[in-house]
Amino acid sequence: MVDKFIINGAKTLVGEIKVRGSKNSAGPCLIASLLTQDECIIDNVPFIDDILNILDVLKSMGIKVEKIGKEKVKIIAKKIDASKLDFEKASKTRISVLFFGALLSRVKNFKMPPPGGDRIGLRPISVQLRALGKLGAKIEKRNNIYEVSCSNLKGGEIILEEFSITATEAVVLAAVLAKGKTVIKGAAAEPHVQDLGEMLIKMGAKIEGLGTHTIKINGVETLKGCEHSIIPDPIEAGTFITIGAVVPGKIKVTGVNLSHLDLFLAKLEEIGVQLERGKDYVIVSYSSKLEATKVQALPYPGFPTDLLPIIIPLLIKAQGKSLVHDPLYENRFNYVQELKKMGAGIEMVDPHRAFVFGPTKLQGATIDSWDIRAGACLVVAALSAEGKTTIKNISQIDRGYERIEERLASLGADIKRISN
Per-residue pLDDT of the chain (420 residues; tens, 9 = 90+): 689 999 999 999 999 999 999 999 999 999 999 999 999 999 999 999 899 999 999 999 999 999 999 999 999 999 999 999 999 999 988 899 999 999 998 998 999 998 874 343 435 688 889 999 999 999 999 998 999 999 889 999 999 988 999 999 999 999 999 999 999 999 999 999 999 999 999 999 999 999 999 999 999 999 999 999 999 999 999 999 999 999 999 999 999 999 999 999 999 999 999 999 999 999 999 988 999 999 999 999 999 999 999 999 999 999 999 999 998 766 779 899 999 999 999 999 999 999 999 999 999 999 999 889 899 999 999 999 999 999 999 998 998 999 999 999 999 999 999 987
Q: Return the SS3 of 277.
A: strand
Amino acid at the residue 401: Y
Q: What domain range includes position 82?
A: 23-229
Final residue of a domain: which of 171, 200, 229? 229
Distance CA 55, CA 42 (A): 12
Is residue 255 domain-shared with residue 391, that is, in the same domain? yes
Residues 12 and 33 grouped into a single domain: no
CA pair distance 259, 386, nearest whole angstrom: 35
How many residues are there in the chain?
A: 420
How far is it, in rounded angstroms, from Cα 233 to Cα 259?
Answer: 12
Examine the fold and report which residue of 229, 264, 289 is the final residue of a domain before the chain moves on: 229
33 vs 2: CA distance, rounded Å: 33
Distance separating alpha carbons of residues 213 and 298, to the nearest angstrom:
14
CA 89 remoteness from chain centre? 18
pLDDT at 122 (0 to 100): 39
Strand 214-218 to 227-229 pairing = unpaired
Predicted pLDDT at 1: 62
Distance between CA 318 and CA 361 in Å, rounded? 11
| Helix, coil or strand: residue 154 | strand
Q: Are residues 178 and 256 in the same domain?
A: no
Residues 225 and 236 occupy one common structural domain: no
Q: What is the pLDDT of residue 121?
A: 40
Shared domain check, 268 and 218: no
What angle is formed at CA 15 by the lines to CA 232 and CA 13, rounded to 5 degrees? 110
Three-state secondary structure of 166-187: HHHHHHHHHHCCCECEEEEECC
Residues 175 and 242 in one domain: no
Q: Report whether 257 contacts 232 (CB < 8 A).
A: yes
151 burial class (0-12, 13-18, 19+ CB within 10 angstroms)? exposed
Q: Mark whether 405 and 304 lie in a shared domain.
A: yes
For residue 328, the Cα-to-chain-centroid distance in whole angstroms is: 15
Do 301 and 395 share a domain, yes or no?
yes
DSSP character at residue 309 = H
- Which string of DSSP letters, residue by residue, matches 3-34? EEEEEE-S--EEEEEE--B-HHHHHHHHHHGG
Q: Which of 229, 246, 276 is the last residue of a domain?
A: 229
Instruction: Report the CATH number at residue 257.
Output: 3.65.10.10
In this structure, which amino acid lies at residue 337? Q
- Beta-carbon contacts of residue 119 (< 8 Å; ≥ 6 apart): 331, 334, 370, 371
Q: Total domain count for the chain?
A: 2
In this prediction, residue 2 carries a pLDDT of 81
Same domain, 245 and 137: no
Does one domain contain both 147 and 175?
yes
Residue in 138, 168, 171, 170 with CA at minimum distance from that of residue 156: 171
Shared-domain flag, residues 299 and 218: no
Q: Where are the beta strands (DSSP E) in 196-335?
A: 206-208, 214-218, 227-229, 249-254, 274-277, 281-285, 294-296, 320-325
CB count within 10 Å of CB 195 equals 23
Residue 250 and residue 139 share a domain = no
Q: What is the pTM (predicted TM-score) of this model? A: 0.94
List of residues 6+ apart from 51 with CB closer than 8 A: 23, 26, 27, 30, 45
pLDDT of residue 115: 84
Please answer whether residues 207 and 215 qualify as being in contact, where contact means their C-beta atoms are separated by less than 8 angstroms.
yes
- Residue 119's pLDDT is 45
Q: Looking at the DSSP assignment, which residues form a beta bridge with residue 283?
A: 252, 276
Instruction: Give the integer Cα–Cα distance in Å for 3 and 418.
Output: 6
CA distance 312 to 124: 27
Q: Rounded to whole angstroms, how far apart are CA atoms 132 and 146? A: 13
